[in-house]
Amino acid sequence: MIWFFIALIGPFMYALTNHIDKILLEKYFKEGGVGTIIILSSLISVIPLPFFFFADKAVLDVGFIKIIALIAVGILNALVLWCYLLALKNEEASVAIVFYQLVPVFAYILGYFILGEVLTHIQLIAMAIIILGTTIISFEIDSENNFKLRRKTIIPMLAASFFWALGSVIFKAVALEENVWRSLFWEHLTLFLIGIAIFIFIRSYRTNFLLALRNNSKAVLSLGATNEFLYILGNLAFAFAYMLAPIALVLLTDSFQSIFALIVGVFLTIFFPKISIEKIQAKHLWPKIIAICITGIGTYLLFMK
């Protein structure tokens, strides 16, 4: 069972990055925050590239078609980040992350149409359960106790989940053997190039980024570097877990990210309210818990064939 605890490191690290992203958006990048964070992430993401290269020098020794596929996956990952940040700008981290449970749903649907994979009755039921869970979290209770649809969260998170699933399917479609160093190298390289392009061609993002860096350089750079380190650490934890247990079992632990995001959000709200605050009143907390439990059950059924 040691693989389980190693795999749990991944979603816990990702949950921490979710809250760091939220802190950056709220406290340091109030203007043009989405593009500014992408620029920051891109600049910092270039740092581990030499490490990835020396860990697997075959990152460049692949076929042209496979390189194009990896670049496409990198672009899709950048789109995932973009859409996720758009949602996070207007929403709590613990809410936005629940929608990522739709990634395997989209992946199975795309696999059915693109790869000709077969969907079982259990998988169809599991997908319906996950959709039910995300439907619950799609509504919030306002100050007047009325239900309100989270429009600014639903659309970008659906797009983020779809792009994530599409990237996974493309990766599988070219029959490229899973390799964490190779995928990390191209993901970071593509993000770096996209960030540079945004910095050069979008003046408002460039201005806001330089302004934030000039006013809070120490905090911005330290948070950005910490974010990147936690993300890489999460990826490495999953990579080691893949070597110790079946991939389906390891992927199940990814559903814990929403649980960890909620726990971290409640912890920060109670003990460090100056850093981050989430709505933890009963009328806000229970829908989150119910949605997380339902999507967790659906994810379990989806991967347990």
pLDDT given for residue 174 in this prediction: 65
**Domain extent listing, the chain:** 2-303
CA neighbours closer than 13 Å in the CB half-sphere of residue 58: 8
pLDDT given for residue 291 in this prediction: 94
pLDDT tens-place string over residues 149-170: 898 999 999 999 999 889 877 8
pLDDT given for residue 77 in this prediction: 85
pLDDT tens-place string over residues 239-287: 788 678 766 677 778 889 999 999 999 999 999 988 888 888 888 889 9
d(CA 244, CA 180): 15
d(CA 137, CA 132): 9
pLDDT given for residue 228 in this prediction: 85
pLDDT given for residue 179 in this prediction: 64
Instruction: Burial-class residue 35 by CB neighbours within 10 Å (0-12, 13-18, 19+).
Output: buried
d(CA 223, CA 219): 6
Locate all alpha helices (DSSP H) within the chain, ordered by sequence: 2-23, 33-45, 49-55, 64-89, 93-96, 103-110, 121-137, 151-173, 180-201, 203-242, 247-252, 256-271, 282-303
Spans of the chain below 50 pLDDT = none
116: left (phi over 0), alpha (psi -120 to 50) or beta: left
Instruction: Burial-class residue 62 by CB neighbours within 10 Å (0-12, 13-18, 19+).
Output: middle
